[in-house]
Amino acid sequence: MKLRTKYHGEIEINEKDIFHFECGIPGFLDEKQFVLLPLEDTPFVILQSVKTPALGFAMIDPFGYFPDYDIELDEQTVTQLELSSEKEVAVYVILTVADPFDNTTANLQAPIVLNYEKKLGKQVILTNTPYKTKHRLFPNKVEAK
């Protein structure tokens, strides 16, 4: 199927690659279908809405940037995503891309959790956690103005 995207123009996708978000994403409750599109030659991926071409979230695998990042999924999320093994799970965090790029932040409080096998997804809002919505990707660099 052809898909118009925010960052990749018009592309061809396979319908079996669509992730279903039963409850949408907070702030985008009507957006229930997304595909993951890698950004070539970068560690970033785009969570692209199937329905809305202009809606694409830049994301990263947080463990490469935040090695101590650790989340625990509640039973409701495990059931909703039909998870039976850690091998099925992928975790991403949404970026707020800044200019200059060194000031880009990651939302560690609300990761995107995907079941790769069943193509189910959910943005999980973590509670009772030290994680915030804005953690700098490059904390050792002086903040540029």
CATH number at residue 62: 2.30.290.10
Residue 35 lies in a domain: yes
The pLDDT value recorded for residue 82 is 97
Q: Name the 3-class secondary structure at 86.
A: helix
Q: Average pLDDT for consecutive 10-residue bins of the chain (145 residues)? A: 94 97 96 96 95 97 95 94 93 95 95 97 95 91 59
Residue 145 lies in a domain: no
Q: Name the 3-class secondary structure at 103.
A: helix
Residue 93 lies in a domain: yes
The pLDDT value recorded for residue 63 is 96
Residue 26 lies in a domain: yes
Residue 141 lies in a domain: no
Q: Determine the structural domain holding residue 111 and report its residue range.
A: 2-136
The pLDDT value recorded for residue 145 is 54
Token reading at 94? 């949404």
E strand spans, the chain: 2-4, 10-12, 19-20, 33-38, 45-49, 56-60, 89-96, 105-106, 112-115, 120-123, 135-136
The pLDDT value recorded for residue 144 is 52
Residue 74 lies in a domain: yes
Residue 125 lies in a domain: yes
pTM for the model stands at 0.93
Residue 46 lies in a domain: yes
